[in-house]
Structures are given as C-alpha cells and as structure tokens.
Amino acid sequence: MRSTTDQAQVTAHIQKLDPLISETVEAIRQIILNTDAEIGERIKWNNPSFYYTGAMAPSDPKEYQREIAVFNLFKNRIMLVFTSGAKVEDKSGLLEGEYKDGRRIVTFKDMKDVQTKAANLQSIIKKWLALVSS
C-alpha cells in the first residue's frame, strides 16, 4: 500500500532538486513504482527510497530486508543504491560494486541513460521481489 503522505514528501523532495536532475530522478521513480503495486516510497536517509510493502517472513529489522533502493544524488550522476543488491542474479551488469555489506549500485548519467537501462532495472527489481515476498 502506498502512503499519499510519503508520496507527497517524495514529490516535494524531487521538486526541490536542481532542474537538471529532477526530471531524471522522476523518470527513475516512475520506472520503479510501475514495476510492482507493492513498492512503496518514502524519504529515508535524506533521499527518496523504495521498499516492499507486501508480506514477508519475520526478520531482523537491522537487515533492512524491506528496503529495495535509495537515491544518492549528485549533479553529474544519479546513483540508485540497492541495499541488498548482491542477492540478485544480475546478468545484465547493471548492478555495480562489490561491497561487503551486500550493496550494489546503478548509476545514471542522464535521461537517455535511464531509458537505456529501464528494462534491466525493472528486471532486477522483479528478481529482488521474488526473493523477499512470502
């Protein structure tokens, strides 16, 4: 279930961004939200983040198992950090990095880059959802 309050906070956050990146961030946001109805959004860690709202097996809250991804925003690139991206088998090469805590990152340069990576991004999210949904 998506919270309209959380959605409004994310919208407000994106609208305050530099216009050069806000359009790209909004496009990525829509790709993620359109992947599955059980993806929620909120401001967490000072940026828009996405999480699974569906039923899950009980787990340690410190493992952040509900967390799908969070934006890490810069002027010249937009990073989407998948907190447990290492769990996903990604043959596309979209997920980058070898972090010990299991994070993986997708970097976007511009709107064209988003369009090129959209299908692989949705595929990764669907694979992640299949791993965590009960």
* CATH code, domain carrying 112: 3.90.1150.200
Q: Which residues contact 119 (CB under 8 A, 6 or more apart)?
A: none
Residue 31 lies in a domain: yes
Residue 123 lies in a domain: yes
Nearest Cα neighbor of 32 from 105, 94, 131, 123 is: 123
Q: How far apart are CA 97 and CA 3, in angstroms?
A: 32
Residue 37 lies in a domain: yes
The structural domain count of the chain equals 1
Q: Please state the pTM of the whole predicted model.
A: 0.90
β-bridge partners, 42: 49
List pLDDT tens digits, range 55-97. 876 666 655 578 999 999 987 889 999 999 999 999 999 999 9
